[in-house]
């Protein structure tokens, strides 16, 4: 590892200016996995780390129908917020499923949004073929062991899965990311924040260099909505998802009048299943409807040897969370 400069700042504008002016500078915050990628994996080598842990971005504020969550709020703090437990159960469940208590007390919401993939090929600097690290070099995962990789938003260029549980739930409820750069502030819907690999797997989101996430705006679900998060994994203890699903439904007289569904563990980004939502909306809350929605969500997957099983597993995950949320028994 080459030497780097460590800088601690306590002013948001100063932090943005410092990183924006230096192409080799990066932010350091809990949950970004920045230190793992530098010290353990040797994948990143910034010349300057700007520690933002002391910026005034650690508050949770509620308006009538929205939570504004500062980027430095920890996962544990957000999970403990009473409004989250009352109006956003899917978010709370995703937070609690996402990490051990020790990590939840350190990892921040902004850091979770920006965490990098856990793809073993990306994180092994000895693997030459990784389009995320070296654009144009290929994707070793396509022909290698790929059990934990993506089948949606994927291609022969990259099948690295997005690791976050929280972001699956946030995508489902239309969260908005607030960003500050040298040119001012802007807001980006989380559904538009991430970029599928395409021609440039190394570009993962719409942030410009130096832009800093300052807060997330999380709309509250309507009163009477039912929601939840289901994570399927190899073990019940701290583990990444093979498949996961966040769902929210409003049901009136047996008919689904509002449906939100997002998937994790199967896509290169937190995946909003809009085709499935269309199937659900206006339909009866029934097992038949749920299975049709699952089929719609998993149309045209990109699979390789080792990931084919995820298609059926993801469908079953969707059906199960919809049954749980709706109260419909199989």
pLDDT means over runs of 10, the chain (330 residues)? 88 97 93 80 88 96 96 98 97 95 94 94 95 96 96 97 97 98 97 96 97 98 97 90 98 98 98 98 98 97 97 98 91
Alpha helices (H) along 21-165 = 34-35, 75-80, 82-87, 89-98, 101-104, 109-113, 140-143
Say how far apart CA 202 and CA 139 lie, in whole Å: 12
* Model pTM score: 0.96
Of all helices (H) and strands (E), which one includes residue 180?
Answer: strand 176-181
Geometric angle at alpha carbon 204, from 190 and 78, rounded to 5°: 40
142 neighbors 157 (Cβ within 8 angstroms): no
Q: Are 215 and 227 in contact (CB under 8 A)?
A: no
pLDDT, residue 3, reads 84
Would you say the C-alpha torsion 267, 269, 275, 279 has a positive or negative sign?
positive
Residues forming a β-bridge with 50? 7, 27
User: Rounded distance, CA 231 to CA 265, Å?
Assistant: 9
Q: In what order do the strands lie in the sheet with 255-264?
A: 226-232, 243-252, 255-264, 271-272
Tokens of 257: 């009048």
Task: Indicate the pairing of strand 48-51 with strand 5-8.
Answer: parallel
């Amino acid at each position: 590892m080459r030497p780097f400069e460590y800088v601690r700042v306590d002013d948001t504008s100063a932090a943005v200016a410092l990183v924006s002016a230096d192409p080799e500078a990066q932010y350091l915050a809990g949950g970004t996995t920045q230190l793992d990628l530098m010290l353990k994996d040797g994948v990143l080598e910034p010349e300057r780390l700007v520690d933002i842990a002391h910026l005034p971005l650690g508050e949770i504020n509620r308006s009538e129908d929205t939570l504004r969550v500062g980027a430095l709020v920890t996962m544990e703090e957000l999970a403990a917020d009473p409004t989250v437990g009352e109006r956003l159960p899917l978010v709370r469940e995703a937070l609690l499923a996402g990490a051990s208590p020790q990590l939840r007390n350190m990892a921040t919401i902004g850091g979770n949004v920006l965490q990098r993939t856990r793809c073993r090929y990306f994180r092994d600097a000895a693997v030459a073929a990784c389009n995320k690290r070296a654009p144009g070099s290929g994707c070793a995962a396509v022909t290698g062991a790929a059990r934990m990789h993506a089948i949606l938003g994927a291609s022969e260029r990259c099948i690295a899965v997005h690791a976050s549980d929280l972001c699956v739930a946030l995508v489902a409820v239309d969260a908005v990311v607030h960003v500050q750069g040298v040119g001012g502030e802007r807001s980006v819907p989380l559904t538009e924040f991430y970029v599928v690999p395409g021609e440039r797997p190394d570009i993962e989101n719409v942030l410009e260099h130096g832009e800093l996430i300052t807060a997330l705006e999380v709309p509250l679900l309507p009163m009477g909505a039912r929601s939840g998060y289901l994570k399927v994994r190899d073990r019940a203890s701290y583990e990444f998802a093979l498949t996961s699903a966040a769902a929210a439904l409003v049901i009136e007289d047996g008919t689904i009048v509002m449906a939100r569904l997002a998937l994790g563990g199967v896509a290169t980004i937190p995946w909003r299943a809009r085709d499935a939502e269309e199937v659900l909306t206006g339909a009866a809350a029934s097992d038949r409807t749920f299975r049709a929605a699952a089929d719609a969500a998993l149309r045209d997957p990109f699979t390789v040897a080792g990931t084919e099983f995820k298609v059926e597993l993801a469908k079953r995950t969707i059906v199960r969370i919809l049954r749980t949320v709706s109260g419909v028994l199989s």
